[in-house]
Each structure stands twice: as structure tokens, then as C-alpha cells.
Structure 1
């Protein structure tokens, strides 16, 4: 039995990623939201058909590594959902760029483990309900406030998909008082971000092979840390790839075998770099793998 959590959503009429998005753009309802002035602690909410978003901060001193904690808070309306960084068969991956920020050495948005969503039209990857995507912010000068500006692109989806493109702004100050509820939300989301696989980890992809033929496929063997808990696997290819989702072929104890069509995989000089996200119960692992493609 396929042990992944696969809630059934309302029917989608979504567009597609990359070049395929342009062909279906007429199905989208565009929403362009202009940002208001930045406020300490959180940005104003920005609303669109299907939900609303804002930037939040944890406040308090920077972490031991010098990073401030912030987050993109996403609140879809009931029965709506939003996408992971890779949306799956269709949709719009969630992205944020921070080039317009002030006093920022680096800013990285990280993604908690997502879920697979199946409807009669497509299989997608993302989140239902309130979601926080943590943002790790490192200032150039620790004694100067950070003006964090995020140019965000995401989609809210139900029967239609509503792309939202906006700039959100918030200020992070040195030694600002802790905002306990927002800090708790960001830290809870951080706890669900997949960890990088290390040698000897119980949860990992242990083997990948290429099955040649008219329609070449990958055979992916995953080692589970909790065989009785729900599990799933998500695979991202290099830029320009348009992959489907892996299909579970069998589970034998703590091993699960998936297959994935190579159709849509971008290959360079006979090789392709894959990013694999394996989810098992409350744990998730992130792994890179380079394959030879005949």
C-alpha cells in the first residue's frame, strides 16, 4: 500500500511550469499586489484571490551563527493550497528573491517537507492550511538594522490558479524584543525542513539505476527510518527539467522502490544532477545525486 499522505483536492484547471505555463496562461487570474511600508516585526498582509501572505520575524538577538530568523507566512483560504519550490505536474513554484534588501550579506528561504496532492487533473506538491517558509538572514553589519525586501512569486490554487507577485518588506533590528508567537511559528517550520543526508543515516535514498528502453525510467530505492509511517519521495532535475512525480512500485519492510520516467529530464553530456527529498513520518531528508543517462 502506498503510505504517503495524499489528500484529495478540488478539481484543478492549473497552468504549467516553464514553457508550458505560457500555453495555459489564460487559465490564470493574475494578481499584482503592491507592498506597503515596512513595519518592525511583520510586513502588512498582502491579499489576493485564494489567500494572503506577509513577512514575519522572530525578533530577539541573532542566532549563534549570526543569522536572524524571519519567515514568509502563507495563509491560503479554506480549500485552497499553495505550491512547494517544485510544483509537480502543473502549477507555479514558490520563489523569493532578496536582492533589494539593505545590510544583508545573505538571505535564504528554506522549505518544510511538502505533501503530494492528487486531483482528477494533475498531481502537485505543496501545502494546505497556514504555512511558514523560514528565511535565514545574515547581516553585513551586526550593529545596523536589516531592511529585508522579498520579491515573492507563488500561486494559490483551487479550481483556478492565481499567481501572486509582490514585494514584501520588514525591518530586523539588533536586540529587538523577542516575538514569542512568531518565533515559535518559524522554529516549528524549521524543524520540518529536510536535513542533508549524512553517511549512515537511516532515512536516505540508497540506490538509483537507469532502466533503458523506448521509455527509460529511473529505479529509486529508498531506505525508511519508520516503515509504518507515511512516506513519499520528490525528485527535482536540473534547470529546464519538467519531471512528473515518482510512482511507488513496492515496499518491503524498511525499503521502498519508486520509478520515475526520464521524460522531461534535462541532460548535459550524458549526466543529470538530481535533488531528492524523502519524507517519512515526521522526518525528511534532502539528498543530491548525479546519474549517467544513456
Structure 2
């Protein structure tokens, strides 16, 4: 098992290198100084729920791309740290609908040129100032891929007006299951030699064109492989394999599975599925 999982990790690293090119020390340094990517915090004021609306605006040099939370076959998932933040109770992201890229035969999912990522902040102590400080580690790719480490530090303004860039990003989120007319979503599990095969059957209207589904395990102890998707009439069938992180026990909770269907006309965000 240990050798198999190490091979999986190595294969993914090689795939990323093949899809995006070699990592170069010079390019990495440029990413670190913001020549390729920069970040700023946008204020969106106070929501009707009493939380604070903000966003991270990640701006890339023309032609560069970065990745969605589930980046695909060879992408690099972004990670966040909030060290140094003040009065930060909870943070919730709303990811805009991403694009699908095909590079050297590998499918990746992300954004080109710019990403406005809405962040809803719940203060730990209501009415007290919130300092949104942290760092974001992400991969950015053009002819090569480089890791970027961007930092931000901003005291949120609860009296700020509605920001048009945040509003546009929120509007571009995937549709919910009810908005998309999803009538049923079931997931069956079957043990494999090294992990667990998950097959989702989703009764829903077409999202348009070729539909690609992404199944996220909802657990840091699991890695999801590529999802194969096909349509049978009014039902979409999506299948993937979850592999456990090396040396770690795991359990699959169907209620925490997240299925995103990316289509030509819109995307659909399905939270959880029933046994079936």
C-alpha cells in the first residue's frame, strides 16, 4: 500500500510537470515578488446576516492562469493561512465558476488573468474590528508552472458600499442543486484494491454541451482521482476513485461529498448525496 500511494503521488507530480512545464528558480522568485501575480483585499461592507463581505482579487500577468479549489488532473490546489489575523471567527469562500483547460493531454480547472474570490467573514466578536491578514499559496502557469506565495493585510471596513467586482463574482457562482432542477443525487461505494470507487447518479437537466463532473471527498485524508462523466438520458453518471493519504485511516461521509457539474451553459454545485 505504501509503495502504491507513493507511486500515485509521484505520478501526480510528474503529470503536473508535464502539463505545465518545469519549475524554474527564476520564475519562482518573480512570482514571490509579485511580477506574475499580485493580490489585494476588496471591501464589500456588511451583509444582511451581520457578517463582513470581502474578496481576494488575484491578478495575473496576461496569459497566465491559476487553479480552482479542485484543480484537476495536474493542477496545484490553492492553500490559505490566516496567521496574524485578528477577530476572525470563520471564513467562507464562494468560488466563481471556473474554466476547463487542456494542456498536453491533461485536464486542469481554474481561471485565467484574474480571479475575484469572495470571502465572507464572521467576526469572532461582533462589532469589533476585523483584520484580514494571511497568505495564499497557489500555482500559476503559462509556458511553465511556478509556485507563488502572496500575502495580504487589510482591516475590513464594515461601512463599505457594495463592490461591483464582488457582486459579479458572487453572481458567477455555480447554480445550487435546486436552481438547476436536480431531482435526485445518489452515490454508491465500492472498495477497490487501493481505495474506494464512488459512482454518482444525478437526475438533472443538461448543463449544456459536454458536461464534466468533479467529485470532492470532503476530507483531507482522501485524494480524488479524475472523474469520468457520461449522460444517460436525464441522468448524469460520474465516477471517480478516492485514495487515502499515506498511512492514514479514512471514512467516506456521503453528506460531505461535493459534486460540481461544469457545462457549456452553467455549472451546478451539489452538496451531498444519498446512498444508492
Q: Which residue number in structure 2 is paired with residue 245 of structure 1?
A: 226
Verify: 1:146 aligned to 2:130, yes or no: yes
TM-score (normalizing by structure 2)? 0.75
**C-alpha RMSD over aligned residues:** 3.7
Q: Which residue number in structure 1 is paired with residue 41 of structure 2?
A: 55
Q: Which residue number in structure 2 is paired with residue 264 of structure 1?
A: 243
Compared CA separation, residues 76 and 18, structure 1 to 2 (3 A)? farther
- What SS is found at the alignment partner of 1:264? strand
Deviations 1:21-40 (A, max 9, x none): 77889932434877xxxxxx
Q: Which residue number in structure 2 is paired with residue 6 of structure 1?
A: none
Q: Which residue number in structure 1 is paired with residue 99 of structure 2?
A: 115
Q: Which residue number in structure 2 is paired with residue 203 of structure 1?
A: 182
Higher helix share: 2
Compared CA separation, residues 275 and 52, structure 1 to 2 (3 A)? same
Counterpart mapping for 1:82-97 below 5 A: 82-97=66-81
Q: Distance in 1 between matches of 2:124 and 2:220?
A: 30
Compared CA separation, residues 226 and 263, structure 1 to 2 (3 A)? closer
Deviations 1:132-180 (A, max 9, x none): 111111234454432211211111112321111132011223324x2x6
Compared CA separation, residues 186 and 53, structure 1 to 2 (3 A)? same
Q: Distance in 2 between matches of 1:206 and 1:242?
A: 21
Q: Which residue number in structure 2 is paired with residue 134 of structure 1?
A: 118
Instruction: Indicate conservation of the 8 Å contact 1:204/1:285, yes or no.
Output: no
Q: Which residue number in structure 1 is paired with residue 50 of structure 2?
A: 66
Q: Distance in 2 between matches of 1:173 and 1:86?
A: 31
Q: Distance in 2 between matches of 1:227 and 1:126?
A: 18
Verify: 1:232 aligned to 2:212, yes or no: yes
Q: Which runs of 5+ in 2 are unaligned?
A: 1-7
Q: Distance in 1 between matches of 2:184 and 2:128?
A: 43
Q: Distance in 2 between matches of 1:168 and 1:73?
A: 11
Q: Distance in 2 between matches of 1:184 and 1:154?
A: 25
Counterpart mapping for 1:2-21 below 5 A: none
TM-score (normalizing by structure 1)? 0.71
Q: Which residue number in structure 1 is paired with residue 82 of structure 2?
A: 98
How far has the Cα of 1:231 moved from its partner? 3.1
Q: Which residue number in structure 1 is paired with residue 199 of structure 2?
A: 219
